[in-house]
Amino acid sequence: MIVIWKGRGVLIIFIVIAACLLMNGVTGSVFHDNDYFQKHGWPKLAALWLAGATTWTLGNYLNTRPAKVMIEKATGKEVILRPEHSFFFVKMEYWGPGLFLLGIIVALM
């Protein structure tokens, strides 16, 4: 599988994995059942919502940072360089609502 990202967009994968591992550990220790995360839908919903909130917050922070202004030598015009952080051509902050919806779909299955 080819993974396409710009900037720090690849962090979405690691955020989702970390949220699922965290929720798996929490539910396993609270309910004293190591398979609780796999058996129930709400921990997956909570993990994806946590990942969605994290990616939305981090994406807004990264994509709204001030741009660099450079001056082109040949023409003297200003060139604005703004970093873009995306994953599969979708900006990082838009993955947040997508993960919220994916959490609902996974919980209902």
Question: At 49, phi and psi to the nearest 5?
Answer: -70, -40
pTM of the full structure: 0.82
Residue 3 half-sphere exposure toward CB, CA atoms < 13 A:
9
Cα Rg of the chain, angstroms: 19
Mean pLDDT of all residues belonging to the chain: 89
The pLDDT of residue 1 is above 80:
no
The stretch 26-52 carries a mean pLDDT of 91
H helix or E strand, kind and range, residue 68: strand 68-71
Domain extent listing, the chain: 5-108
In angstroms, the Cα distances linking 71 to 12, 32, 63, 65, 84 are: 33, 61, 22, 19, 20
CB 16 within 8 A of CB 51: yes
